[in-house]
Amino acid sequence: MKISNIVCEAATIPYEWDFYPTWYPGQTEKEQTIFIVRVQTDEGIEGCATCEAPFGILAIMKETVEYLKTFLVGESPFDVERLILRFRNVARIAARPWLVENALWDIVGKASNLPVYKIFGAARDRIRVYAAWGEIRSIEQRKEDAQQLVSEGFKAVKLRFHHEKMKDDLAIVEAVRDAVGDKLEIMADANQGTAVERATGGVPPVWSYERARNMAKEMEKLHCAWLEEPLFRYDYDGLARLSREVELPIAGGEINKGIHEFKQMLDKGSYDILQPNCTMSEGMSQIRKIAAIADAYGKLCNPHAWIPGLGVMQTMHVAASIPNFTWLEYPYDPPKITPDVFQGIVERYYVPEEDGCIPMPNAPGLGIGLDEEKIGRYRIKI
Ligand SMILES: [Mg+2]
């Protein structure tokens, strides 16, 4: 079997309500754009993968796929490890080629009549997920939201910090703990890893080391599961100091890249929980290597999965094959972030069941296809 062509397209699904993200306080998001890659073969099997794409970089992502195509057409989709260096060479100068690797795995699975996670080597067939919130809402609303999650069967929730003052961030954790007792594990994301906010002078505010440590100490008292991205993503030493000084697990890595950066973080002791993203850090098979290195250090790997369309499913196949894994991110902040808008273009929504777990699909490849009618309805020009 040979790769015959690679094409890409994009669909923009409008939100029913305006969405006010915690990661850009003051901004309003009105839609979700999903970038779709399709790798075609001479035997008629097509592999698909998706990720998010702000409108402004769609053209760059398309160019990346076009460029990568020149290195992959005529090659076997099974030869992922042999082709990895080509992906890495393209990644030097282009945006996120990893999605194409993920589509190759969809082909490998379909051609082998096996789900991808079975090919990787399954560690489990149900994925325990936490509801990842993303919106700025009142404390009273968050108490209700948390109770609603419990009634729906969720076992964990991730809050996001965004306030000027630490006490206002802490108040959300206290309120949720007060509302649900020990019925939910609570994680919190400080979103301090990105550079944009630092460059624009702190929106959301840039944390000092002391703020990170003080917040971690307070979260320990509230029996939280972890604090995510409390410092800049390259502050390996600051993160390592924090990890040594507090008992609360420190998590991060969603925008770090390549197995070598993760190895460095592990050498330094920066994180207790690595969170590589299988469309940003590297592709699905390379995230498994990051998880293996983490395992050798006695650390966890809970991949980051705020990735629309098939994105969480791609990540589920990775998570299902990682022994040192505990929780997967499931973007869910109803009534705004729901499978309708976030998974959007898939043929069947994948949702957690009463035990808070999503069963892995049995169908070959990624196990869920795309809804072509819906893509047609929301397709935009790149
Ligand atoms: Mg995060």
pLDDT at 316: 98
Q: How far is the CA of 229 from the centre of ligand 1 (A)?
A: 7
- pLDDT of residue 366 exceeding 90, the answer is yes
Statement: residue 205 has pLDDT above 90: no
Mean pLDDT of 37-58: 94
SS3 content of the chain, % helix, strand, coil (to 5): 40, 20, 40
pLDDT in tens, 70-108: 999 999 999 999 999 999 999 988 888 999 999 999 999
Q: Which whole-number Å values give the CA distances from 77 to 83, 102, 103, in the listed order?
A: 9, 11, 9
* pLDDT at site 95: 84
Rounded distance between C-alpha atoms, residue 72 and residue 65, angstroms: 10
Ligand 1 centroid – CA 87 distance (Å) = 25
The angle, 0 to 180 degrees and rounded to 10, between the axes of the packed helices 98-112 and 284-296 is: 100
In angstroms, what is the span from residue 270 Cα to ligand 1's centroid?
A: 16
* Å from CA of 278 to ligand 1 middle: 14
The secondary structure element, H or E, covering residue 196 is helix 196-199
| Centroid of ligand 1 to alpha carbon of 74 (angstroms) | 38
Nearest to 176 by CA among 152, 212, 148, 153: 148
pLDDT (tens digit per residue) in 101-137:
999 999 999 999 999 999 999 999 999 999 999 999 9
Per-residue pLDDT tens digits for 3-37: 999 999 999 999 999 999 998 888 899 999 999 99
- The Cα-based distances of 48 to 183, 215, 301 in angstroms read 37, 41, 25
Residue 66 pLDDT class (50, 70, 90 cuts): very high
Cα 304 to ligand 1 centroid, rounded to whole Å: 7
Q: Is residue 289 part of a domain?
A: yes
234 CA to middle of ligand 1, Å? 15
Rg (CA), the chain: 20
Which whole number is the average pLDDT over 153-161?
97
Give the per-residue pLDDT at 115.
98
User: Can you name the residues that pair with 185 across neighbouring β-strands?
Assistant: 156
Q: Does residue 342 share a domain with residue 273? A: yes
Give me ligand 1 centre to Cα 44, in Å: 38
Note whether 279 and 96 are within 8 A (CB). Answer: yes
The answer to whether residues 238 and 93 belong to one domain is no
The CATH number given to whatever domain includes residue 21 is: 3.30.390.10
Count of the separate structural domains present in the chain? 2
Q: Where in the sequence is the domain holding 268, given as residue range(s)? A: 119-359
Q: How far is the CA of 300 from the centre of ligand 1 (A)?
A: 15
* Residue indicated by tokens 């998880």: 291
Query: For the residues of 142-163, what is the DSSP string, one character each?
Result: HHHHHHHHHHHT--EEEEE---
Predicted confidence (pLDDT) per residue in 208-241, tens digit:
999 999 999 999 999 999 999 999 999 999 999 9
Can you give the pLDDT at residue 108?
Answer: 98
Whether 364 is covered by a domain: the verdict is: no
Q: How far is the CA of 345 from the centre of ligand 1 (A)?
A: 23
Q: Is 79 a member of any domain?
A: yes
- 317: CATH: 3.20.20.120
Q: How far is the CA of 252 from the centre of ligand 1 (A)?
A: 7
* Residue bearing tokens 């003052």: 165
pTM: 0.96
pLDDT at 179: 98
Residues 189 and 290 in one domain: yes
pLDDT at residue 1 above 70?
yes
